[in-house]
Chains A and B, each alone.
Chain A
Amino acid sequence: MAAEKHDVPPAAVNANLTEREKLEIESSFRNEIVATRHRRLRRGLMFNLIGVLIFLAVWEVLPRIVPGVNIQMFPPPSGVIATLYGMLADGQLAAHAWSSLKRVAAGFVIGSSAGILVGLFTGRLALLQSMSDPVLHGLRSIPAIAFVPLAIVWFGLGETPKIALISWGTFFPVWISTFIGVRDVPKLYVQSALSLGAGPLNVMFRVVLPAAMPFVFAGLRHATAVAFVIVVAAELVGASSGLGYLISFSHLVFRIDMMFVGLLALGVLGFLADAAFAALLQRLFPWYRAERS
């Protein structure tokens, strides 16, 4: 033991730290951690910004220098921003976005509620699963936008066909992921619930459904993306408002800058919807994954 003591560096031997010195070291250590984290974050954001600026610069310059390109056909960011500003100022853009959002929301609520219910029952009851599998998988394989003409024949040109199409399209991803979540609920959860005296309904709604919620949520997130695809397809034909209509109308009047504004708005809405889901997922299910790591 005595020999080992000599190996200790002198600094450690002299480190007869007072409580105050200890706290000082701790606090500067903590500050250093925070500062490093902020530095990394700033660097990351800076490079994000640089990337975006390069993209915009290339886009701005390209239409002007490439021979044979009509600037009307390929409007640079400066032109798109001017148009965007005008369409924001007269409320035109907001009106179209609102029309589309209403359709997306209505269809999403109907389609995903049905998806959750059907997923829950087909995931729990083998008989229902066997009965519904061929039909549901068959229908799922048909791209939802292929039903646009059918929806118009059946439901006319109003809101109904659009909402019906979005409901149809969002149903499948929600159903599939709910089904998988429910089917793969750990057996121990169900056995625990049964041995604590839970009946079939309580097992289903208080244990299986909450346990499957992270999967359900993944399905809902996927469904929002699908909903935006379908709303555009549905608005390209037989609509008089909405972002899809805006894009198709811009085509008719040869306003490519307005078309770009429509595309931009769709990108922003889609991105925000997805980011909202990602944030909710973290907040609502902190137990998922965390428990098993």
Chain B
Amino acid sequence: MASLIEVEGVSQIFETREGKANWALWQVSLEIEAGEFVCLIGPSGCGKTTLLHLIAGFMKPSEGSVRFAGAPVGEPSPDRGVVFQEYALFGWMTARQNVEFGLRMRGMGRAERREKAREALARVGLERALERYPHELSGGMRQRVAVARALVNEPRVLLMDEPFAAVDAITRTTLQDDLVRLWQQTGVSVVFVTHNVDEAAFLAQRVVVMRPHPGSIKRSMNIDLPYPRQRSSAEFAQLYAHLGEALGE
């Protein structure tokens, strides 16, 4: 049985601001299993977001292949839900309408759509914000809506691009707890881009450490600490130090 996501020998060339050619990714290979929680971590310019966008189908690799569920990745699809850092909710739609958008694109009827959106928002603790607009919600609540909007389509993988980077530290830990819970409940795969060591240590079953110039994978580390992880535990401190070292090498 092939992996859910297979990235094989992928290189991605970009034009820099000065008009030069630059390899955002160089010969990257990575496999991600169904139900797996993987964090991509590395400094800026290491190509982690590029890799995520290739899996999402926002661009085609210059070289190599990206396969999803056995088939080459084509156009973006609700099978691969995406959560961005911020400002990706449609500002002119309420939370409910945002969550309903994908269902509507599938042609689902109004009543069913409403019910599903209500459930999805309840699952992220926002049943009372159904009719509120993104600009009326806090940063943390907006990201919950964004997660609900992706999850309501029952994707096989959730691609998350530094989704909690713009919220305050206290809200971030709550969002992380909730994400682990949702992941365990739904069995969805998660590919989570971050540059935060603590976040990767708290969330991931596997941490893929990347390096820049050119963007490539430095190490892949499995984490077998059970969930929910305790930040105060000695094991967590050790893991944190270990990951920090791997990044800094």
Contact = CB atoms under 8 A, between A and B. Distances in A.
Given A207-B90, A210-B92, A287-B91, A196 B135 contact: no
A290 interface: yes
A194 interface: yes
B210 interface: no
A188 interface: yes
Interface size class of B (residues with CB under 8 A): 20 to 34
A169 to B, nearest CB: 29
Contacts of B77: 195, 197
Contacts of B87: 186, 188, 291-292
B135 A286 contact: yes
A195 B56 contact: yes
Most buried by A among B77, B81, B88: B88
Interface string A195-221: 111110010001100110100000000
A141 B80 CA distance: 47
Contact of B134 (A197, A206, A210, A291): A291
A115 B57 CA distance: 33
A contact residues, range: 20 to 34
Given A197-B77, A197-B105, A198-B105, A191 B82 contact: yes
B78 interface: yes
B76 interface: yes
Interface string A41-70: 000000000000000000000000000000
B102 A194 contact: no
Interface string B141-185: 000000001100100000000000000000000000000000000
Contact of B92 (A192, A195, A211): A211
A207 B98 CA distance: 11
B81 A288 contact: no
Contacts of B14: none
Given A188-B84, A189-B88, A196 B153 contact: yes
A193 B97 CA distance: 13
B96 to A, nearest CB: 14
A198 B106 CA distance: 8
A286 B133 contact: yes
Closest 9 CB pairs of A and B: A287-B91, A196-B102, A194-B76, A195-B76, A197-B105, A290-B135, A291-B135, A188-B88, A195-B82
Interface of B: 56-58, 75-78, 80-82, 84, 87-92, 101-102, 105-106, 133-135, 149-150, 153
6 contacts: A191-B56, A194-B57, A194-B76, A196-B102, A287-B135, A288-B91
